[in-house]
Amino acid sequence: MEIEFWWLLAFPLFFGLGWIAARIDIKQLLSESRALPMSYFKGLNFLLNEQPDKAIEAFIEVVKVDPQTVELHFALGNLFRRRGEVERAIRMHQNLVERADLGQEQKLNAMFELARDYLKAGLLDRAEELFAKLQSSPHAEAASKHLLEIYQQEKEWARAIETARELGKITNQSYQKEVANFYCELAAYEIMHSRPQNARAHLDAALANHRKCVRASILLGDLEMLEKQHEKAIEAWKRIESQNPAYLSLIAEKLLNAYRQLDKTDEGLHLLRGYLSNYPSLDLLNVVFQATLTRQGAEPAYQLVRYEMKRAPSLLGLDKLLEAQMLEAPLERRHDLELMKNLVHSHTRGLAMYRCETCGFRARQFYWHCPACGGWETYPPRRTEEDELAA
């Protein structure tokens, strides 16, 4: 490829133009920096040195000297909110919302930040009002997410369903699991207030939105039991095996009780033994152990636990095995076994808990809605030791 000589002449020209542009930018930068008060640079210095208190004081001085520093108003408001000084954040953002010289985009930004301040302060009605106004703005997605959070806090499940569906359209993500749980919340409320027909309609809607909604099947079985429809309750609970068999441990006791009401305890125990064989679970083992002990005696109960311990060794299983041995042990050995059981039990307290997969929050009882992070169905129906062994 031949080099054109006129290219050589163009190089100095391009270099010269670049040098002139850089000089203009530097002059403009120096001009703008001279226009800023010294407090601004002091504030930046304090922030860089991780001294937020002194930085805020310096920035407040800048705002007093130059009220036109809109972005600094935003920054200060957000700093106040993060520090928990919500009233000062509200005043800062409220001042921006009320300014007549503010552009439409900045005014919407100020409204959004003010709504977040209200939410942080627990003023849910004010936050809801502003977020609702922002649903047709560039903040629509974030505003809808905050509205969904508010409706869940206020237990406004019907509005939560509507908002989750709208949010799904905006984000192209599925909220069917959340919507199904909102319907379950409505159903639980109706069951509590003895309105079975309304509850059944909500549960049907939950399953229509999310056919693998185990919670809806559990509540449907509970509803059938309240109406003495034991066979229908069993049918509803048995459906869980096809939805997610890990949750069978949550309804094992209920299922056995339904069979007991039909005078078919042995049939129910046989079904649970099959579940335990196919889907090992410490909670399921506990139910089957107690039922076996009651129906067949200590030796079959001991053999059951012994077999399960060989199949899936665990400290929680060992605790149950020692309990089974104590039932048949002679008096002189019972004291030693009791000492061993107490020692093992003291080490299993932290293992016999449920743990949220999203935030790691632990609890002794099972939650459909994590009280720490607010996630739905984030608790596996297994004890923490089972999760650790599975990993």
- Residue 322: inside a domain: yes
Compute the mean pLDDT over every residue in the chain, rounded to the nearest whole number: 78
- Residue 215: inside a domain: yes
- Residue 299: inside a domain: yes
Higher pLDDT: 370 or 338? It is: 370
Q: What are the residues facing 363 on neighbouring strands?
A: 354
Answering whether pTM is above 0.85, one says: no
- Statement to judge: residues 365 and 331 lie in one domain: no
Residue ranges making up the domain that contains 391: 352-391
For residue 353, what pLDDT is reported?
Answer: 73
- Residue 375: inside a domain: yes
- Statement to judge: residues 321 and 306 lie in one domain: yes
Residue 22's pLDDT band (cuts 50, 70, 90): very low
Helix, strand, coil in percent for the chain, rounding step 5: 75, 0, 20
Residue 314's pLDDT band (cuts 50, 70, 90): low
Residue 78's pLDDT band (cuts 50, 70, 90): confident
For residue 334, what pLDDT is reported?
Answer: 61
Query: Is residue 376 helix, strand or coil?
Result: strand
For residue 23, what pLDDT is reported?
Answer: 42
| Residues 251 and 215: beta-carbon distance below 8 Å | no
- Residue 204: inside a domain: yes
Dihedral of CA 149/151/152/157: which sign?
negative
- Statement to judge: residues 338 and 356 lie in one domain: no
Neighbours of 128 (CB within 10 A): 20
Residue range 310-331: mean pLDDT, rounded: 63
Instruction: Return d(Cα 368, Cα 377) in angstroms, integer.
Output: 5
Query: Is residue 358 helix, strand or coil?
Result: coil
- Statement to judge: residues 343 and 310 lie in one domain: yes
For residue 12, what pLDDT is reported?
Answer: 53
- Residue 226: inside a domain: yes
CATH code at 199? 1.25.40
Residue range 180-189: mean pLDDT, rounded: 97
- Residue 189: inside a domain: yes
The token pair that represents 314 in the structure block: 């665990």
- Residue 8: inside a domain: no
- Statement to judge: residues 203 and 289 lie in one domain: no
Instruction: Return d(Cα 247, Cα 107) in angstroms, integer.
Output: 49
- Statement to judge: residues 358 and 290 lie in one domain: no
Using one digit for the tens of pLDDT, what is the confidence trace for 142-176?
999 999 999 999 999 999 999 999 999 999 998 99
Number of domains in the chain: 3
